[in-house]
Structure 1
C-alpha cells in the first residue's frame, strides 16, 4: 500500500495502530508530541512519533540481511529500511538520528515529548527503558491525532537518591552535571577489567533502575559496545 492510498483510506492515523505496526519489527514508541503545542526544532505542526528498539528487536534484527551479511552500520541500515517501510505504510515522513550532518534534533524531540529527561550524568533517561535508550527513527504525520500522556509527570531522577548512574561507573567518566569524560571511558574499555562493560553493556546505564524495563539482551548490548569502542 502506498502512502497516498493509505491516506485516502485512513485520513486520521491512530496511535494504537502505529504502536502495533512498530512492534512487528521489534520497535516501540519512545514518545510522541504535537509540535504546534510543544515547540521543537524543524517541525511546527502535525504529530511526531519517536521510535526505538523494544524487547523483540534483537531476535528479529539478528536474522536480518544487514546483520547476517555484516553490512556496514547494520543497525542503521536496518532502521532505514524498516522505518521507511513503516512511513510508507502509515502515511508519514521518516527521520533518522544518524542522518547528517546536519543531524535531526532527536534529543530536543525526546525531551519535548515528556518521555525522556536529562539525568544527573547528562545522559538521557527514558520513562520506560531508563538509560538503555536506542532511538532508531521517527515518524512525522501531517495530521494531529490523540496521543497518550507521558508515563511520568516529572523526571525519575528527582526522587532517585542513590544516583547509580554517577556512582557505578568504574572509569569515573560520569559526574554530576557533566561533562562526560569520553577519553576516560575509552581508556578503561581497553583494560581487561572492562570485560563486563563490553559484553553486558555500560555499567552506569544498566545501573539506572528504569533500565530493567528495556529487557535488553546481552548480545544486543555487546553489539552496540563493539561499535562504540572499536579496537
Structure 2
C-alpha cells in the first residue's frame, strides 16, 4: 500500500513525508488509527500546480490549498482514507505529527529543519485511516525516524536571523505585523520579488530552493497581494 500511495502522489510531485499508527487510547482526530503525511521537498510540485492553475479562474481563493486538497483527496478516495489539510479548521497538529514522523526540529524561523531539504519543504496534507489492519500495516512500514542531526545547532552565525531588514525573527518569535508592513511597503520590494530574505540566507538545502515564481506566489499569498 505504501508503494501504491507513493506512486500515485509522484505524478503531482508529492511524496510521503512519514507516518505512524496512533497508540491504543491515544487521542486522534475523527477516530483515526494512523496517519500518513503528504508533502514535498524542493520545488517538485510547482510545475504540476502551475499547469493546473492555468485552467482555474484567476480570482480563485487559496489555489494551492485547493489543488492540494483535490490531489490528495483523490488518493484518499481510492484508499478509503480521509484527507485533511493544515489549513482545515479546527487546526490539526501537523507540526507535532511531522516531528514525530520525521524526527525534525524547528529552525529559528519556525520552519522544521530537514537534513536534506533544509527549509525548502512543506506538508500539503495528510491521510487518516480508521481501519485497524491498515493502521497496523502503516505502523509496521513507517517506523518513526531517528532524530537526524539538527543542522541549526552547528550553524555558524545564524544568517537566517541577520538578513531581514526589520529583524522579523528573533528569540522572541515572529514579528508578524512588522514583517507584513515592511513587505507591503516600497522598501519591501526585494522580499516581494525574491521571497523571504531570512529563509534564503539559510545555507542548507540550497539546491532545493524554490524558484523565483514559487517564492513570489507564497509572498503574495502572505501579503494578500497588497502593496502600499
TM-score (structure 1 length as normaliser): 0.80
User: How big is the alpha-carbon RMSD for the aligned residues of Structure 1 and Structure 2?
Assistant: 2.6
1:220 aligns with 214
Match for 1:72 among 61, 80, 91? 61
The verdict on how the C-alpha distance between 1:225 and 1:40 changes in structure 2, with shifts beyond 3 A counting, is farther
Structure 1 CA distance for aligned equivalents of residues 88 and 35 of structure 2: 17
1:140 aligns with 128
On the 8 A contact 1:66/1:75 being kept in 2, the answer is no
The verdict on how the C-alpha distance between 1:165 and 1:224 changes in structure 2, with shifts beyond 3 A counting, is same
Gaps spanning 5+ residues in structure 1: where?
A: 1-12
2:104 aligns with 116
Deviation at 1:115, TM superposition (A): 4.2
Structure 2 CA distance for aligned equivalents of residues 198 and 132 of structure 1: 18
How many residues are aligned here? 215
Match for 1:52 among 39, 50, 53? 39
CA deviation string 1:53-98 (max 9, x = no partner): 4433111111115764221111111111111001112332211111
1:20 aligns with 7
On the 8 A contact 1:40/1:109 being kept in 2, the answer is no
The verdict on how the C-alpha distance between 1:192 and 1:65 changes in structure 2, with shifts beyond 3 A counting, is closer
Structure 1 CA distance for aligned equivalents of residues 191 and 20 of structure 2: 34
SS in 1 for 2:51: coil
The verdict on how the C-alpha distance between 1:208 and 1:84 changes in structure 2, with shifts beyond 3 A counting, is same
Structure 1 CA distance for aligned equivalents of residues 149 and 22 of structure 2: 20
The verdict on how the C-alpha distance between 1:223 and 1:36 changes in structure 2, with shifts beyond 3 A counting, is same
1:10 aligns with none
User: How do 1:35-50 and structure 2 match up within 5 A?
Assistant: 35-36=22-23, 42=29, 46-50=33-37
Match for 2:151 among 146, 156, 166? 156
1:6 aligns with none
Structure 2 CA distance for aligned equivalents of residues 125 and 67 of structure 1: 34
The verdict on how the C-alpha distance between 1:214 and 1:50 changes in structure 2, with shifts beyond 3 A counting, is farther
Structure 2 CA distance for aligned equivalents of residues 50 and 152 of structure 1: 17
User: How do 1:160-171 and structure 2 match up within 5 A?
Assistant: 160-171=155-166
Structure 2 CA distance for aligned equivalents of residues 60 and 171 of structure 1: 34
Bigger CA drift: 20-29 or 73-82?
20-29
Gaps spanning 5+ residues in structure 2: where?
A: none
On the 8 A contact 1:96/1:138 being kept in 2, the answer is yes
